[in-house]
Amino acid sequence: MDHPGFWAPAGPYTLSELVAHADATIPEAFLSRGALKIVAIRTLDEAGPDDVSFFDNRKYLAALKVTKAAAVFVSRESVAKLPDGVVPLVARDPYRAFARALELFFPDAGTPKVAPGTSLVDETAQIEDGAIVEPGAVIGAGASIGRGTRIAAGAVIGYRVAIGRDGFIGPGATITHALIGNRVIIHAGVRVGQDGFGFAMGPGGHYKVRQVGRVIIQDDVEIGANSTIDRGALRDTIIGEGTKIDNLVQIAHNVVIGRHCVIAAQTGISGSTVLEDYVAMGGQCGTVGHIRIGAAAQIGAQSGVASDIPRGERWGGYPAKPIVAWAREVALLKRLAKRKGADTPGDTND
């Protein structure tokens, strides 16, 4: 889809301007590169010769070693891991430095683009014939609604949001910073496109990281009431074709969910987690961030997933493990509890 985006990027900025704003330094050997102009901030694997990136998590060490970025915010200890020619921008806290640099490139991203300039249905919104906008719905500037889609009363469709055909947006739902496909059902009270939970934490306070990605929801997705899907930080948060999401599910920034996944109620999926196609998660599951769950994996209810899960496997428990190992542990604990009870003398009354 050809889309103008949600944020007006600024720049370019020189490396010298970036480090001055971000509280970083350029090593003496690279000072001659200070006038190099940087056009954008991107992730390590997406950055090119006009971009800057950052490294603050060892899970992305492989991407750091092959990045094509012009410069990277890094700690002093990580400078040696950069590819030849990449300029190290040395910071005591690379993630915080990245957050400060992000402010330069996206100065208007501090406030969400909910539905500016609108009086219920903005005159610049594009609503195809056959779409239905119920009384009390708000359609923001530059938004587009496809034929056959119903926007229920009280829903808010934000600035430049695009929604395809034959969908349904339930009462009280809010959709911002999102591109939504055809035949998507979004139930009452769903929140799509709000800030991800991104902070550079430190003893001096927690510095907010602007979230300038989007939410992409592909065709035939259904999202249950009061679920929340945060927009990405730099990457997009993506919900794949045909995926079904129950009520009260939290999907954090940069999460990628594949096609035809099933996610039951009260599940929480932490940032930058990847679910491949046909993953099924039981109710009240939780994951840590930056892990990958393989295609067709199944995760039992109330499981806590702290590591990658290979494709096709069934896991459960807390922390989650292969289902057979978990069942054995539960059975062993039951036997030990029975034995302990049998070995404990009962109370006697004199």
Phi, psi of 103 (to 5 degrees): -60, -35
CA separation for the pair 172, 187 (Å, rounded): 9
CA separation for the pair 157, 211 (Å, rounded): 19
CA separation for the pair 29, 135 (Å, rounded): 64
Buried b (16+ CB within 10 A) or exposed e, 138-167: bbbbbbbbbebbbbbebbbbbbbbbbbbbb
Helix axes 15-22, 94-105, angle to 10 degrees: 120
Cβ atoms < 10 Å from Cβ of 301 = 14
| 253 flagged as catalytic | yes
The residue assigned the tokens 């594009």 is 126
DSSP 25: B
198, 233 contact by CB (below 8 A): yes
* H or E stretch covering 193: none
Nearest to 318 by CA among 271, 285, 349: 285
Query: Cis omega (within 30 of 0) on the bond before 12?
Result: yes
Question: Measured at the alpha carbon of residue 11, what is the angle toward residues 107 and 44, in degrees to the nearest 5?
Answer: 90
Q: Hey, what are 112's tokens? A: 């969400």
180, 198 contact by CB (below 8 A): no
- Catalytic residue of the set 3, 187, 253, 290: 253
283, 263 contact by CB (below 8 A): no
Alpha helices (H) in the chain, listed in sequence order: 15-22, 61-66, 94-105, 323-343
Strand pairing class (321-322; 314-316): antiparallel
CA separation for the pair 214, 198 (Å, rounded): 14
Active site residues: 253
